[in-house]
Structure formats: C-alpha cells, structure tokens
Amino acid sequence: AAHSMASATDARFGQKESSDQNFDYMFKILIIGNSSVGKTSFLFRYADDSFTPAFVSTVGIDFKVKTIYRNEKRIKLQIWDTAGQERYRTITTAYYRGAMGFILMYDITNEESFNAVQDWSTQIKTYSWDNAQVLLVGNKCDMEDERVVLGERGRQLAEHLGFEYFEASAKDNINVKQTFERLVDIICEKMSESLDAADPAVTGAKQGTQLNDQPAPPHQDCAC
Amino acid sequence: MMNRWDKEQSKSKRSPQTTRMPERAELVDALRCKLQEATEWPDPDYLRAVTSDVGKLLSSFSVPSACERNRNVSMGTEVDLEAKALYPEDAPMDMVPLSCQGQGNHLFEAASVSLLGDSSLSAELQVRTMVEMLLHKQYYLKGMIDSKIMLQAARFSLCTEESAARMDQLPMAILEAIFDADVKATCFPGTFSNMWHIYALASVLQRDVYSIYPMSNMKIRPYFNRIIRPRARAGSACQSQTLHVMWAGESLSRSVFRPQYFAPVVPVSTLHCPSSGEALPRNTLELLNMDPDISYSMLREKYSITKSTFYRWKRQSWEHRQKAATRYEAKQYLQQCFSAGSFLPLQQFRTRFPEVSRSTYYTWKHEMLLGAGVRVPGLDAGIPGANENQSPLSGGSENTESSKLHPRPGFPRPFNSQRSPSMQLVKSFLRNCVSLNMCPPYKSFRKTYPWISRSTYYNWRREAMTRVALGPKDSATGQIGNTLVGLGDLQLPSLYKSRAGSDLRSPFLPLCGSKSNPSPLQRTEREEAKRRVQKWRMPHSVFRVRYRTISSSTYFLWRRAAGHQGAGLRQQRREGAGLRACGETGVSLDRRQHLVAASTCLRSGMFSLLPAPAKTFNVTSLSKAEAKLFLQQRFESNTFPTFKEFSGFYPLTPRSTYYMWKRALINGMVLTDY
C-alpha cells in the first residue's frame, strides 16, 4: 500500500480552470536530488534567469511559479525546490503528493550524488502518484574537468530506470529550459494517453465513490 | 496589471455589502489570480502588500453563514462511506461525513459544504485563509495558546511513520519556511491543507472548527482531533455555531490511518428533506402520556403516525409504548442511514439506542440488506410499525440462500437500479469471479456494491471458494471434482467439519498447538487462523494484526504445509485435463484464458466493476511474503540479489516493490519475522 499512498485523491492531471483564470493548466513539479547538486540554481535559472555561484542550503521547501505557453495552452508550472539533505528527506516526501513531474538531479562532479539517484527514484515510486513523470538531469556539465560521472553512465541509469535523460548547466544556462519543456511535453503526452484510455463505462460506474478510493487519474480535458 | 487591480477595487467599493454570489465569485476569482501573480515576484514584500490589499477588500463583506442561507445539503450529495467507517465515537453522534469533490485535499470544499451545504464558497474560504495566514503569521506560529500544539501537528503531518522520532527536533526555522511555502501555495488550485490551515480557517469563519480525526494513530491524534478556536470571535449567535470537518483517508490497519483528504460533516437532519414530515413517535408518545385522551385526528395533523399504530400504542402500557417507540425510532433511523448509502455500525447504534438489542440490530440490518431490491416492509410511510410484533429472529440467514430477489420495477429502492442488482445477482457475479480466479478485492467490490457489507462479501467469497475447491460437479470435470472432495475431506477437515457442526479437532492440531492446554476458544481461533492462512492465503501482515498471539513461525509453517498440499492438488488438477488451477503457477499459465473470460464478463454488462486485469494478476500475497523472506535472508547473508536475479525468482513482483524493500532493509527495517 505504501507506494500508492500519494495517488489517492491528490493525483490531479492538469487543472483546467474557468476562463477567468490566468492559465489553462497547472502542473506541480518537484526538483529532487542530493544536497548541493544545484536544484535551487537550476530553478532560479529557469524562473528568473539568474545565477548565484554562492551555495545557500535550501531551508525546508519553497516553490516558484512560471507560466509558459506550450501547444497553444497557458501552462502554469508550480516548481517546488526541496531540501536535499538526508535529514529533511521525509519532509519533502510529504510534498510529493499531487506532483505530476519530477526532475531528479545529480551533479556530474559528484559520484555520491549519482549513486543516490536509485534511492531518490525509489522515493518517487513510494510516495508519488504512479503516473508521475521523471526526468534525470546531470547538472554542472560546464565543469568538464571535474567530471566523475560519464554521460554514458547517466544515460544507462536513466534507461534502466525508465526516465529520459539530460545533461545541463544552470551556470552556463545549458539545457535548462529544454529540460522543463520536455517534462511538460511528457506530462501532456501522458495526459492525452490516459484520456484515450478512459473508458466512459468504467468512469461512469466510479462516480460518487471516486474520492474514496484509489482513483484512476482524473481525466480532465486536455488537448495539448 | 495595476489598472485591472484598481478597477476591481473600485467595483467592490461600490457595493460591498450587497455583493451577490455570482459577482462575489468573480471578485474572489480575480483576487485569487492577483495573489497567484504576486507569488511569482521574487520579492516577498510585494506578495505581502498585495495580500494586505486583498485582505482589506475581503473584510468589507462578511462570510455568509447558514443563518443567511437556509442550509440544506444540495441534492446528489452522498454520504462518504469510507469516512463514515472511520468516524470516531467521540465525535458528535448525529452527524455524518459527506463526500465532496475538489482538488488537493479539499479542505475548503469540505468547509464550504459544512457551512452552506454546497461548495460555492470554497474559493473564497481558500483566499481568505491565505490572507489570514500571511497577515497573522506571528500569531499562528507564536502567539496563540495552541501554537505549540499546532506546530507539533504540522511536524507530525510532515513525517512518515519511520521518521516520527527524528521529526521532534525539526527546527523552527524550517517549520517557518514550510509555513511560508504552504501559505503561498494556498492561492493555487489543488493545494494540500495542513493543520495550520484549519486554525486560520476558524479565524476566517470567526467560529470554532471541530477537527474530527479518526480513532487511529493514537499517539498523535490529540493534536488533530480538537476544537480549534478562532483568533477573534463573531458577535452574533448564529456564527458561533461550530463547523465540523473530518480528516479522512486510508485505514492501513485498525490502529494506523493515513490522512488523505477532508470530508465535510453535517447533521444527519440536513441530509433528508423531510417532505413527508418524519414521524417522531417520541413526540406522539409524549403527547399520549401527557394527555391520555388525545384523539387520533388531533395527532394526525402533526405527525404521520398511522391510525392502527396510534391505537395500538394507546392500548399499551406506558413502558410498552416507550419501548415500541424506541424500536420504531431506532429502525427508522437505521433505515435512513441505510438509504443515505451507509450502514450505522453496531457500536454507534448501540450508543444511540442502548435499549435495542444487538440481535435486533442484526436482524434489521439483514432485512435491509435483503431488501436492497425490495422495500423493507413496515417502514413504508403507510404502515409504520407493522412488523413490530415480528420475532427478532425472523428473516434468518436461510432467506439469503433461497429467495430470489430480482429487482422489482415500481418499488422504491435506496439506490438506483443500475447500481442495485439483486443480492442474488451480485452473489452469482462474485461466484463467477472466483471461479475465474479473478475475485475483486473488497475495496473494488464495494465501489460498485456499496450496500453489501464486508462480512457478506467475505461470506460469499468463502462460499464461492469452497465451491471452486470442491470442483464444479456439474461440469465435465466432475470426476476430478470428486477427487478433490476426497482430498478436501482428508486434508482440510477443519473448515468443513466445523461448519457441519461436528468435531472441531483437526489432525493438524498437535502440530500447531505449542501450548499444553489451549482453551477451546484459543483452539478455534487457531483453527480459523490456520484455515485462513492455508486456504485463503491470508497475507502475513494481515495475519500478524489479526492473530497477535500466534507466532509468525507458525504462519510460515502453515504456509509451507499448505504449499505442499497445494502443489499436490494442482498436480492432480492438471492431470485431470486442464481444470482451472488456483495456484500462482496456474495464474500465469492460464492468464490468456482468464483474460478472455474476463473480457467476456466485461462485455456482459453488469460486471463493469472488474478490476483491471493488470491488478488482478498482481502478485499474490503468498509470493509477496516469500519474496520478502527471500530478500531478507539474502540481505542477512550479505548476498543481496540484484533486481534481475530477484525477478528471476519472483517475476510478478514489480521493480518498485523490490527497491522499496531493498531500501527498507538498508534502513535497518525487518521485512518479515520468521
């Protein structure tokens, strides 16, 4: 039962809001990975296009919001930046619920952060909704001389875990935007897939009890 | 951006007191967008400034309450059965949790339904709560009497079971950061509320909020099951009414509960529109007692008591009347709950009606379940009390077996016909499922047939499984069936013999009875435990919870013994020309065949509840327990298998489960004790 906990009631595919709203869909995305792999920098680069080389450990948890246009839809991304330190790991798992995408990050100059990927992936499977999409990102690819994790290893691990893989640099702004956009696209693909799979008969039968049990991903209209 | 902002402000200044609902909703939406946009700014002061403005605007008109609107729960609202099952005994008795749609864990939808009967106010409550939390942060984190308790609750909701101890030291700075993030997230859809939201909500409503928490997680329950006081209280009497919301979710065991969402809780009386004027026999009786000469015509105008009932009561002694009235009331209440889609648990029923016996409760329950397709006689408005003289034992269990209760058109039923095939149909459906080896778990079953009790489900399933084990005598494989009957007699005597009421002693008893002189009760329990382990493949986890006194080693001993028998049985069956096997190997072998059968089932209409095939062929609990044991042993011997190797042994265990277990082992947890 453990790995289905987060799926009940909270897994929501894209919130289609009324026309008054300032967006068509909202996706909750989490960036996770060991401490100091560059999660906060990655987020700041994407949301504010800024970079600060000084390392400040994230306190608890925070999020930033960025609205993008993708496939003619206004998509609001609520991107949660989590503390990577081991002792706060359980706090952050409480925020996995409702997340539709994860960016699982390691530092290509830090073997340990790469070795922890497996564990992080287990965390996702344990605490998030089954349909959550994950992208593996090797950050700090600008620091080629200090690289200890070869790209090939990253790619293989990603393949093994069933994730897509990017190498990126928040500092040099390499692949940052691409990472987020690819994640959004995967989420959208998954959304239309589950829409196609939706069987009206089954959905109809579930009405009324839907809240109380492990729901199929709520099928909301998305054509993106 | 600011232009629109000003426009909104002036618009609301024009007529803040008379803001009507649609206009009000529009305004709230606009304010919410405003707050959302403000969260995008890097500077937190900007968000604060905007929030302050929004707060001023909102304070110019007040939260509507049930006094202003006639609260009546909107049509189509259903009782939340799962939440109802978790509803604690110490919560108000005459209230019931409802299901409500919403995003995230929908605290605000629940609050709106509790307040007004519909979710029209949820967005406004959400925005107001955010404003309250942001502007009065210091009050909530430090200033209230309850601050420490609230923070402790927040800590507990952030941790998982295994980290509860470490969470105690979670520093204030981190909690504050989490509070800030939670506040910001509150203006977005799909937000997940926490205890601090409830505190702020109480202030928004200026009234007490009763946060109802199931009778589980007893160590932390006091932090969540509380009456939350508002920061400041409203003056009017109407607004001083307490609002009820309930933490609902998944019950993992009797003592462990995992909160997942909030349910509105409303008085039972608001659920039913009493159009026919619900008869309140107690009132009638009081009148009768006060004035023995009161006539029927006088009463009739007030209450819908039939003439015959009235005169019967009039003839009877005072005590007798009182008793009859209680029974009448109790039954009617039970029927109401049943019609509302749930069944009042015995304990609650007895608390409410201590005079009515347990057996009567079960008789009524049985009647109502039986009558799911047929209206229960005696409770129709026309003939109340007609069956009061019936023996409490009438309508015994034999009825379930014999009567064919097909839905009768024209009879009002508590559920619509699509969801209410007769008991018999449901039973035969379950039987079919079992014979296809795809019996839906109770959880799925309940979704489609919520009115069938858990015990009935298990009774039917047991019966169906017995049939399967005995072999389909009417089929071409009758011979094998007979062989199996023979085997059953030999090897599974406890089940059949005890059912037949004969000797309870099983040949296995010496094997499992480690204590010198177990009492008959213990013996029966062990027999039952063993039967469940061997015959019904009770998972180890369930076993440990249910039979605390029986060791795990006994469990595995039984399992192994059953495995040998099972293998023997399977062998025989296969030799006997491909009869459906029920062991795991059988599952994989016959998967194609089952799929075909399943799709036939699906096509034939009413079986829409069949779980997805992928789920059906999930790892059986036996192999799960074995896999755990395997992993643990390998872990202890330092030869932990890779996933590849592991999946060679246990192909049905998903990768994620493997990793979950692996992690647990690395973290020093014990998967299973053997």
Q: Under an 8 A CB cutoff, do A126 and B100 touch?
A: no
Give the gyration radius of chain A's Cα atoms. Answer: 18
Pairing state between β B243-251 and B257-267: antiparallel
Task: Clarify whether residues B450 and B362 are in a common domain.
Answer: no
**Any A CB within 8 A of B188 CB:** yes
B129 domain-assigned: yes
In the predicted structure, residue B544 carries a pLDDT above the cut 90: no
User: How much is the ipTM here?
Assistant: 0.82
Task: Clarify whether residues B83 and B212 are in a common domain.
Answer: yes
The partner residues of A103 in beta bridges, in order of sequence, read A31, A135
Task: Clarify whether residues B158 and B65 are in a common domain.
Answer: yes
B16 domain-assigned: no
Instruction: For the beta carbon of residue B253, count every other beta carbon within 10 angstroms.
Output: 13
Mind listing the pLDDT tens digit for each residue in B629-639? 888 888 888 88
Helix (H, G, I), strand (E, B) or coil at A111: helix
B474 domain-assigned: no
Q: What is the pLDDT of residue B655?
A: 84
Task: Clarify whether residues B232 and B328 are in a common domain.
Answer: no
How is residue A5 annotated by DSSP?
Answer: G
- B39, B101, B160: best to mutate for the A interface, most A CBs within 10 A: B160
Residue B416's φ and ψ, nearest 5 degrees, are -70, 160
- CA-CA distance, B399 to B39, in Å (whole number)? 64
Question: What Cα–Cα distance (Å) separates residue A180 from each residue in A47, A127, A136, A177?
Answer: 11, 22, 11, 5
Helix axes B172-185, B122-135, angle to 10 degrees: 150
Helix axes A151-161, A117-127, angle to 10 degrees: 20
Q: Under an 8 A CB cutoff, do B42 and A21 touch?
A: no
- CA-CA distance, B649 to B331, in Å (whole number)? 55
Longest dimension (CA), chain B: 89
The partner residues of B209 in beta bridges, in order of sequence, read B228, B243
B598 domain-assigned: no
The partner residues of B97 in beta bridges, in order of sequence, read B265
- B86, B445, B655: best to mutate for the A interface, most A CBs within 10 A: B655
B393 domain-assigned: no
- CA-CA distance, A98 to B654, in Å (whole number)? 22
* Among A residues 159-198, those touching chain B with beta carbons less than 8 Å apart: none
How is residue A81 annotated by DSSP?
Answer: E
- CA-CA distance, A12 to B114, in Å (whole number)? 24
Mind listing the pLDDT tens digit for each residue in B223-282? 999 999 999 886 665 557 899 999 999 888 888 888 999 999 998 877 754 433 334 455
Question: What Cα–Cα distance (Å) separates residue B542 from each residue in A5, B539, B622?
Answer: 18, 5, 12
Residues of B in contact with A26 (CB under 8 A): 188-190
**Any B CB within 8 A of A94 CB:** yes
- CA-CA distance, B504 to B520, in Å (whole number)? 9
The partner residues of A67 in beta bridges, in order of sequence, read A76
Number of residues in chain A: 224
B473 domain-assigned: no
Who has greater pLDDT, B616 or A20? A20
Q: What is the pLDDT of residue B187?
A: 93
Residue among B581, B325, B588 nearest B436 (CA): B581
In the predicted structure, residue B59 carries a pLDDT above the cut 70: yes
**Residue at token pair 């925020």:** A95
**Of the candidates A15, A63, A213, which has its C-beta nearest B190's C-beta?**
A15
Task: Clarify whether residues B78 and B184 are in a common domain.
Answer: yes
**Of the candidates B40, B174, B444, which has its C-beta nearest A59's C-beta?**
B174
* Count of structural domains within chain B: 5
Q: What is the pLDDT of residue B2?
A: 39
B494 domain-assigned: no
Decide if B187 contacts B35 (C-beta within 8 A): yes
Task: Clarify whether residues B134 and B266 are in a common domain.
Answer: yes
Task: Clarify whether residues B639 and B536 are in a common domain.
Answer: no
Give the gyration radius of chain B's Cα atoms. Answer: 30
* Among B residues 216-275, those touching chain A with beta carbons less than 8 Å apart: 248-250, 252, 258, 260-261
Residue among A175, A187, A135, A177 nearest A157 (CA): A135
- CA-CA distance, B637 to B635, in Å (whole number)? 5
Pairing state between β A61-70 and A25-33: unpaired
Across B122-268, where does the E strand assignment appear? 209-212, 226-228, 243-251, 257-267
Task: Clarify whether residues B344 and B195 are in a common domain.
Answer: no
Task: Clarify whether residues B287 and B322 are in a common domain.
Answer: no
CA distance B32 to chain A (A): 9
Tell me the H-state helices in B492-551: 493-500, 509-512, 520-534, 540-546
- Domains observed in chain A: 25-195 (3.40.50.300)
Decide if A191 contacts A100 (C-beta within 8 A): no
Helix (H, G, I), strand (E, B) or coil at A91: helix
Nearest-CA residue of chain A relative to B189? A15
In the predicted structure, residue A11 carries a pLDDT above the cut 60: no
Task: Clarify whether residues B141 and B161 are in a common domain.
Answer: yes
Q: What is the pLDDT of residue B480?
A: 34
**Any B CB within 8 A of A45 CB:** no
Instruction: For the beta carbon of residue B219, count every other beta carbon within 10 angstroms.
Output: 9
Residue among B410, B423, B331, B328 nearest B371 (CA): B423
In the predicted structure, residue A24 carries a pLDDT above the cut 80: yes
Mind listing the pLDDT tens digit for each residue in B480-498? 333 333 333 333 333 333 3
Task: Clarify whether residues B66 and B213 are in a common domain.
Answer: yes
How is residue B635 annotated by DSSP?
Answer: H
- CA-CA distance, B347 to B89, in Å (whole number)? 8
Mind listing the pLDDT tens digit for each residue in B496-539? 333 333 333 333 333 333 334 556 666 777 887 888 787 777 77
Reported pTM: 0.53
Could you tell me the residue range of the domain that residue B230 belongs to?
24-271+282-296
